[in-house]
Structure 1
Amino acid sequence: MANSIGKRILLGFSAVVVVLVALGVYALGQVGAVRDTTDAIVGRDIAMARLLDDLANKSRELGMLRRDAVIAYLSKSGQGGRPEDILPAWTRTAGDIENLLGDLTRSADSYRTSSRLPERAAIWKQLSDAGNESAGLFRELRPRAEGLFALITANDMAGVEARSAELNGRQATFIKSVANVRNVLDQSVIAGQRSITDLYDRTRLSIGLTLAACVILALLVTYIISRAVVRPLESVMAFAERVGGGDLTGRLEVRGSDEIERLARALNGMVVGLTDLARTNRAATADMTAAAAEIRASAQQQAASVEEQFAAVQETAATVDEITHSGAQIGARAAEVIATAQNTAQTSRSGLRATTDSAKAMDAIREQAEAVAGNIVSLSEKTQTIGEIITTVNDISERTHLLALNAAIEAAAAGESGRSFAVVASEMKLLADQAKGATAQVRTILSEIQRGINTSVMLTEEAVKRTTVGKARIDTAQRTIEETSARAEESVHTFQQIVASTNQQQLGIEQVMGALQNIRQASQQTAAGTREVETASANLTELAQTMTTLSERYRY
């Protein structure tokens, strides 16, 4: 048996988990068996039903083909029919029926040998016997039917009529046997449904019994855990409550070595320690009361001397504070001078940056002006090209005008037939006049553009010259501002050295003031400490009385 309560609980729950897992595996197995059995029963019944449906359809088709052949033969003498055309279809159908009967018996024998249920195996045996019976009837029916076709070929009408009547009876017997096989299959379906129901009931019963066993095991584990853990814990809690009430006379009984027994052993040791503590506490309380009285008297004497020392330190601190205030005013004035000098230097640096930016801007303006001049020169060259094009267009318009004049003369000479050509010549003359006028306007506009371009070139050159002059002036101003900024920086350094000396003096005064402050704070802390000691001694006296009361609470 395990000594640890944790191991006991783990063992109990492990058993429950194992049972639950086993139950789940068993239930899954039973459900799988039900499913497999159901699939097998339903699949076999459906396959056999389809086979029987095909067999019944082929049997009816075979009888219809035979009757059609007889009817065709009997009507042949009057209407000239061809019953021999039906023979190939009848032969194929007969072959299909033989194959279906063979499949029927083979499937029934296979299902009988692999069936899990005895009742289903017996039914499959009946189905195989019925199928064999139907196969025997068909083997008797087929040669008789083939003989009928031989009689038809021999044109034996009397034999055909006699054989046809006989085959009708045999056909009915064969179809009845097929129907009997279907009845046996219906019994198999009913037996399968009963088997599935029985298997489901058995599975549900077995799962229910296993679940009940699991519940009983869980209750048993709960009882064992309650007996091994809860009851010992209740006794330990009762003992702890008695100890909390001040009863140190009892002890717990220790029998084993599990967690609760170790807790009981620890509680017994704690009670022993509390008993010793209570005895020691009563003895120490009286000594503490006497010592608290002596400490209180000493603290009162020390408080009086500390108050005298604190008054002297206050007077010295007031004098040093006045010296510190004067030094602070000197430092403030020096700081203002440094701030003014720094502002001057900052202004100089700002002016220097501004002149530098202005110089860069003047260079950019000069470069842009030179680029504009280049663009204007290129534009002037393009206007000259346009002028040449306009000259060419003007020449074309003059030639067109001359051509139109000649066309008009030719049209006038042609008389009435040249009237339409005269209109065209007039339009060409008008178009030539318009083109000539347009070229004159464009030439005027180009002249104005050329004058504007020349003016722009002159202005751009003037702007470049002025930009160069402005750049030189800005360079001069930049050098002047650099000299001013350097002198301002020197002034700032000089004032900073003066302020550093003043700050060192002020620092020394502040150190003296800090030392006085520390002495004053130490005096205040000492006075507060003496008051706290006095209060602590009073509290110590009260604590001794309280401890006496608490120690009297325990019984041992």
Structure 2
Amino acid sequence: MILGRLRKSLTWRLAVSFGGLVTAALVLSGAVNWMFTKQDVREDAFRGLSVVSDFHAELLESYLRGRLQSLRMLAESQEVQDILGWAAGRAGLNRAGGEQNTRSSYGVLGTKAHERLLSKASQLDLADLFLLAPEDPVPVYSVRSGLQSVPELNEKTAKAMASLRTQVLQDHRVAWGKPMPYGPDGSLCLPLALPIKAVAGDRPAGVVLAVLGTHTLDRILDRETQLAATVHSALVDAKGRFAGIGEKEVSRGLNPQLVSEALADGSRVRERTEAAGGSVLRMATPLGLSKTLGFPFDWILITQMNEAEALAPMRALAFRFGGFGILLALGACVVGVFLSRSLVGPLRSLETAVREVGRGNLNVSIDASTRQDEVGGLINSFHAMVQSLRDQTREILEGVNALAASMSEISATAAQLAASSTETATAVSEISSTAEEVRQTAQVAQQKADGVSQDASRMTQTSEEGRFVTREAIQGLQRIQKEMDFVAENVMRLSEQGQNIEDIIGTVRDLADQINLLSVNAAIEAAKAGEHGKGFAVVAHEMRSLADQSKEATEQIKQILSEVQKITSSAVLAMERGAKAVKAGLEQGEKAGEAVERLAATVEASADSALQIAASSHEQLVGVEQLVQAIQNIDEATGQNTEGARQLEMSVRDLERLSQSLKNAAARFQV
């Protein structure tokens, strides 16, 4: 229901907006104040913890210092001397077996001293008080055990006492021990050893070992403060472990780094951390007992408080501030209602007029406002707007009527243009197809012309080779003719030499006959000479043999020469026939050369013509391709024109419908 009112009523929205703005401002202011104030309150809480830490530290140091002073006075008291005298006397009587009266006198002295020491130990909150002799580590007296028996100690306590006794006897000064459990209940105690001053000499007469209870220390840390009820304190050692004094819960979840920083700086360190009960503010303060009282260790005082309790006053203030903010938000809503009524009234009248204008009634009228604010400006602007709309609507109606008439004529023209473009596109498409066929024919002719040109080039090359070969052949025949003439001449000379050789052979034959005849005569004369002619007979015989051989050789040469002459005659005849054949071949070669020359001239002329035809065909193909490209461009342009004409026709039809729609829309307005 409320959301419905907010959607429908400006008054409600303005009232809620005013209230929301005031509430948001208050919430933002409160958040900022809370953030800064929370930090200030936390700082105040830490300062309070610092005061509490100083207070507790001073009380602890004062208490321990007072107990140390009291124990020093106790170590120098007569009671201690009496107990030591009683112990020494008892030891001497036991060794010597003294009389009963002497034992009684020492017993009365020791009893009185014991009663006084018991009273002082109770006042000083001592768990026990031991007296130790210099020569014996076993205590000779204990307040808790009295004069009747020597106290029995466990091993750990005995070792601690022996260590403190040795330290005091060596250093002649006070020695503190570490906290330890003592007594039947095992309560935590703090041992302290002091030297007993001797009557004569520097060596201590004994050692007073006081076992100081920590109940008073617990009461000091449990003392209430004015800061907050949740402030708690505890003592921890150097490792952050609970020392047994104070509240153990404080040491739970303690960060050892916090303790280390406090010991390293020698000053207090603080932190904000999460604990089981929520956020806590914690502060660590080193007591410095090792420097002030000579402790062999140091305690750190941990003080903490619950952050929620520290911030409790601020939360109460925040609740009061929230209540005040709610009252302011309600007041802002009331103011918003009154302001919205002064705006909504005129706006409702304006809404009615706007609704009528939205229905097309431009005859609506609204009086001009005398208000000087934005609402008055809006009403006056609306009045001027309605008047301007009336004038513009009249002009639009007139323009729409004229546009409708013009669009009818444009539509008819566009239809005619589309039809003409379609016919033109069809014709151009046919021309393009024809041009493509012509281009293909020209390409085939160009290919054929290129083939003829290449064949003519090869023929020209072949004719040149034939011309060259013919010339070489004619020259070869001429050289053969010359060689044939030279051979014929040599053969004739050889024939003549053969005739001369034949004559020489005849001469040699005659000479052989004469030698034969001479050898016969010589043989006859040798026979006549007898013994003296034997040698001459041998020579004659040899000469006859030589003449016979010469005759045989001559016959052989004659036969050979006859064969040579026959062969020479055949060669001469062959040379004559070869010369005739070479002459005839030379004549035919000259005729063939003339024919080849004429053929070569004819081929060169044909090749030139083929080249001219190929060039013309190429030029014709280029022209045809350009023509085809131009026709294709015309075809594309014609297609684009046709598509444009169709789009124009469709656009004109759309405009015609739009003009009709405008005319119908303008007719709804009442001017």
TM-score range, shorter chain: 0.3 to 0.5
- TM-score of the superposition, structure 2-length normalised? 0.35
Bigger Rg, which one: 2
Structure with bigger helix share is 1
Greater RCO structure (CA 8 Å; 6+ sep) = 1
TM-score by length of 1: 0.41
More strand by share: 2
